[in-house]
Amino acid sequence: MSATAVRGARAFRVYLEMIKVEHSIFALPFAMIGMMWGTRFTSSTPWPGARIFIWIVVAMVSCRSAAMAYNRIADRDIDAVNPRTKMRAIPAGMLQLKQVNLFFYGSCLLFFGACAMLNPLALALSPVALGVTLFYSITKRFTPLCHFVLGLSLGIAPSASWIASTGKLAWPIIPITLAVVFWTGGFDIIYALQDDEFDREHGLRSLPQTLGRPRALMVSRVSHFLAVCSLIAGGVMVHAGVAWFIGVGMAGGLLFYEQSMVKPNDLSRVNMAFFTLNGFVSLGLFAFALIDQLLRL
């Protein structure tokens, strides 16, 4: 394994693939929404200042990086026998286990340091946030609800950013956390359709493995409907303007299109639905949230 481990610029690209940087791209806009709404809720501006903004980004990315590195460490033996994942960094030998462990511990330290730079409540809750994100990696071994644990690991981002920018937690941000839980759970079910047979053969759990593809897709669709409802409720609770609700409407339309791309017997467009559309939707929703805040200045 060590003979094929990569170095230099190629290693950097392998690390980015390992941590699924698109997960951070999906979740970061929701963290920014939590930051803007929290700051607006406690003051007359959505901007908390450059220092808080930078440390929120550092905390967010380092937490997600630690979680994904831990996932690759925990799943390395499973990944090695799954045809879809056997070329991931550890089983393919592109990164040594000790390299990934070092990356994991470094990401954890960076995360705790960023939380310490924010406020006491952020630091106090940082082990909880990290624990939730790490817990997902083992849930597929015992529960088909693992998709929603992943959703929670991403969904804490807006609430965490609210805490980071205000020093406290308040009810208005909870619906946005629920929205990300349902949204992520819905699209992770779609992604898991590719592995339902492998999961059955190796004793792993997922909703497609437990319910079958048609019923799992129905749960995914209900989850995305609940995500849109939660986005609406969150907007109402923070007295968002028209721009926000236009953005929610467009997000709902794209989620409907995402669902139409996948059928129980046709998974050819799963990767586009999982990776491409969700990134565009979250960035688009953030754009409308930002427009809404700018119109209220």
Question: Which position has the token pair 């909870």?
Answer: 174
Distance CA 110, CA 57 (A): 11
Q: Could you give phi then psi for residue 193, rounded to 5 degrees?
A: -60, -30
10, two tokens: 């190629």
User: Which segments of the chain have a pLDDT < 50?
Assistant: 1-3
64, two tokens: 């997600």
- Reported as a single tens digit per residue, the pLDDT across 73-109 is 999 999 999 988 888 889 988 999 999 999 999 999 9
- Identify the pLDDT of residue 3: 44
Distance CA 283, CA 275 (A): 13
Given a contact cutoff of 8 angstroms between Cβ atoms, the answer to whether 28 and 57 are in contact is yes
* Radius of gyration for the alpha carbons in the chain, expressed in angstroms and rounded: 19
The domain spans of the chain are 2-295
Residues facing 266 on adjacent strands:
263
- Reported as a single tens digit per residue, the pLDDT across 187-222 is 999 999 999 999 999 999 999 999 999 999 999 999
Give the CATH number of domain 2-295; options: 2.60.40.10, 1.10.10.60, 1.10.357.140, 1.10.760.10: 1.10.357.140
SS (H, E, C) the chain: CHHHCCCHHHHHHHHHHHCCHHHHHHHHHHHHHHHHHHHHHHCCCCCCCHHHHHHHHHHHHHHHHHHHHHHHHHCHHHHHHCCCCCCCCCCCCCCCHHHHHHHHHHHHHHHHHHHHHHCHHHHHHHHHHHHHHHHHHHHCCCCCCHHHHHHHHHHHHHHHHHHHHHCCCCHHHHHHHHHHHHHHHHHHHHHHHHHHHHHHHCCCCCHHHHHCHHHHHHHHHHHHHHHHHHHHHHHHHCCCCHHHHHHHHHHHHHHHHHHHCCECCECCCHHHHHHHHHHHHHHHHHHHHHHHHHHCC
Distance CA 123, CA 283 (A): 28
Given a contact cutoff of 8 angstroms between Cβ atoms, the answer to whether 90 and 97 are in contact is yes
* Nearest C-alpha neighbor of 188 from the set 143, 151, 136: 151
* Nearest C-alpha neighbor of 181 from the set 233, 224, 244: 224
17, two tokens: 């693939």
Prediction pTM value: 0.92
- Identify the pLDDT of residue 2: 43
How far is CA 16 from its chain centroid? 15
- Identify the pLDDT of residue 33: 97
Q: Which amino acid is at 170?
A: A
